[in-house]
């Protein structure tokens, strides 16, 4: 069997290979021809001759039916992990004869799933067939594949042939974005600097008076950094500034330590956390950028999501993490926390291989150490509630 299968595949892709019915007819034709030699009966020669002629026609027609077919692939819209990809192919028949009994197979990368097949009864002359299918996704990534395979045994089904067509595809699966109701990592950025005050002892304002458009009552989930304390004291209730940025145009940077070595599950959660923090900061009307080892500082919803979809651990570091202003550092390496700029925050994923390493580091900035499930120490607890919990200082 190990020898027969490669030979069959070669015949199917280069010419055509007998199907089960074809092998039966080949054997029958040989038997009739042998019987004719032994008995010298003309009718046996006639039957064997007709059988061989039928086999010859059946071997020639399937490859010819695939010659005039072309395939056009429509662009694939990006989706988030867990949603279905919409894949659309158009098979065109450019010949003057209809093509029937056709099988189309889209050869997906194995990390995305098994090849998808579609049986087509007939494509009319100078016509086309539109094939749309939906493929589930489980993990983020940028998936590329190039091959669509056409197969046919028409019209007799005695021989089978396959032909490949180059039809490049790129599918982008974005990481999941968690709907955070609150996030102290983002909300409390810059509070340490505000509390220090200026040399005359007055606390620094988080924004200039000219940038305040309006004040409104405090609502649950509003960041504390936007509370206007002087007005709140005057009215006896919390008042929040609307449409205001931090003084001096300070930006929040979400920095993913993609150049380091990660456990696979930890890195996938870090990517989800980076996407969730980025969009939460945008919802709070803050200026936010993303940093990874291979891209430097970037912004823009589509660009950020595509970057996070493609990023991997142990990336080649083409840029250095900016240290001119504080950032939110996502890492599995506790040693890197000692070099963060003043006012930074961090999220640390515990490393199973060296659990005692994080106990010997003196962290100077508040952050979050993600906890593992008490029932299964190899699995992390749900990420969303941990990103929303109060920061701890160590």
Average pLDDT over residues 74-95: 95
Percent of the chain whose pLDDT exceeds 90: 51
From residue 386, how far is each of 13, 112, 171, 364 by CA, in Å?
54, 30, 31, 20
Whether the pLDDT of residue 130 is over 80: the answer is yes
Whether the pLDDT of residue 139 is over 80: the answer is yes
Determine the pLDDT at residue 219.
Answer: 75
Ranges 30-44, 74-88, 218-232, 344-358, most confident: 74-88
Average pLDDT over residues 11-16: 90
Query: Are 180 and 387 in contact, with CB atoms under 8 Å apart?
Result: yes
Whether the pLDDT of residue 381 is over 80: the answer is no
Percent of the chain whose pLDDT exceeds 70: 84
Alpha helices in 16-151 (DSSP H): 20-39, 42-67
Which residues are CB-neighbours of 57 under 8 A, at least 6 positions away?
156
Whether the pLDDT of residue 394 is over 70: the answer is no
From residue 364, how far is each of 5, 132, 238, 354 by CA, in Å?
64, 55, 31, 21
The domain 67-174: what is its CATH number?
2.60.40.10
Query: Are 309 and 303 in contact, with CB atoms under 8 Å apart?
Result: no
Distance CA 372, CA 394 (A): 18
Residue 142: count other Cβ atoms within 10 Å of its Cβ.
Answer: 14
Res. 313 pLDDT band, cuts 50 70 90: very high
Whether the pLDDT of residue 164 is over 80: the answer is yes
Res. 352 pLDDT band, cuts 50 70 90: low
Mean pLDDT (the chain) is: 84
The structural domains of the chain, with segments of one domain joined by +, span 4-60, 67-174, 195-242, 250-387
Q: What is the pTM of this model?
A: 0.78
Higher pLDDT, 239 or 279: 279
Res. 225 pLDDT band, cuts 50 70 90: confident
Whether the pLDDT of residue 335 is over 90: the answer is no
Determine the pLDDT at residue 249.
Answer: 45
Query: Are 221 and 181 in contact, with CB atoms under 8 Å apart?
Result: yes
Determine the pLDDT at residue 376.
Answer: 52
Distance CA 206, CA 227 (A): 9
Average pLDDT over residues 70-83: 95
Whether the pLDDT of residue 188 is over 90: the answer is no
Determine the pLDDT at residue 199.
Answer: 39
Distance CA 274, CA 304 (A): 10
Whether the pLDDT of residue 246 is over 50: the answer is no
Determine the pLDDT at residue 204.
Answer: 39
Of 165, 149, 163, 161, the closest CA to residue 12 belongs to 161
């Amino acid at each position: 069997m190990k020898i027969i299968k490669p030979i069959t595949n070669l015949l199917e892709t280069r010419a055509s290979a007998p199907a089960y019915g074809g092998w039966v007819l080949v054997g029958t034709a040989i038997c009739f021809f042998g019987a004719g030699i032994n008995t010298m009966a003309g009718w046996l020669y006639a039957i064997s001759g007709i059988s061989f002629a039928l086999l010859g026609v059946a071997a020639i027609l399937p490859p010819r039916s695939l010659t005039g077919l072309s395939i056009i692939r429509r662009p694939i819209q990006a989706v988030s992990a867990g949603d279905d990809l919409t894949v659309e192919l158009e098979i065109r028949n450019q010949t003057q004869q209809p093509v029937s009994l056709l099988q189309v197979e889209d050869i997906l990368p194995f990390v995305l799933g098994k090849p998808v097949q579609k049986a087509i009864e007939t494509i009319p002359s100078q016509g086309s067939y539109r094939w749309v299918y939906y493929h589930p996704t489980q993990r983020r990534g940028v998936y590329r594949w190039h091959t669509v395979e056409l197969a046919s045994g028409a019209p007799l089904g005695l021989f089978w042939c396959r032909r490949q067509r180059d039809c490049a595809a790129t599918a982008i699966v974005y990481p999941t974005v968690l709907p955070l109701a609150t996030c102290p990592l983002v909300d409390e950025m810059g509070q340490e600097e505000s509390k220090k005050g200026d040399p005359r002892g007055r606390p620094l304002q988080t924004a200039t008076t000219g940038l305040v458009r309006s004040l409104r009552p405090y609502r649950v989930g509003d960041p504390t950094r936007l509370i206007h304390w002087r007005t709140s004291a005057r009215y006896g209730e919390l008042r929040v500034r609307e449409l205001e940025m931090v003084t001096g145009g300070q930006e929040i940077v979400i920095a993913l330590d993609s150049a380091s070595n990660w456990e696979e599950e930890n890195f996938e959660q870090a990517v989800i956390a980076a996407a969730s923090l980025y969009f939460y900061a945008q919802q709070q009307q803050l200026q936010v950028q993303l940093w990874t080892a291979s891209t430097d500082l970037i912004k823009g919803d589509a660009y950020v999501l595509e970057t996070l979809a493609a990023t991997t651990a142990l990336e080649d570091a083409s840029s250095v993490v900016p240290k001119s202003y504080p950032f939110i550092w996502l890492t599995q390496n506790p040693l890197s926390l000692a070099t963060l700029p003043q006012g930074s925050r961090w999220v640390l994923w515990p490393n199973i291989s060296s659990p005692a390493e994080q106990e010997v580091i003196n962290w100077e900035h508040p952050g979050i150490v993600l906890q593992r499930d008490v029932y299964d120490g190899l699995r992390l607890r749900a990420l969303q509630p941990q990103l929303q919990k109060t920061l701890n200082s160590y």
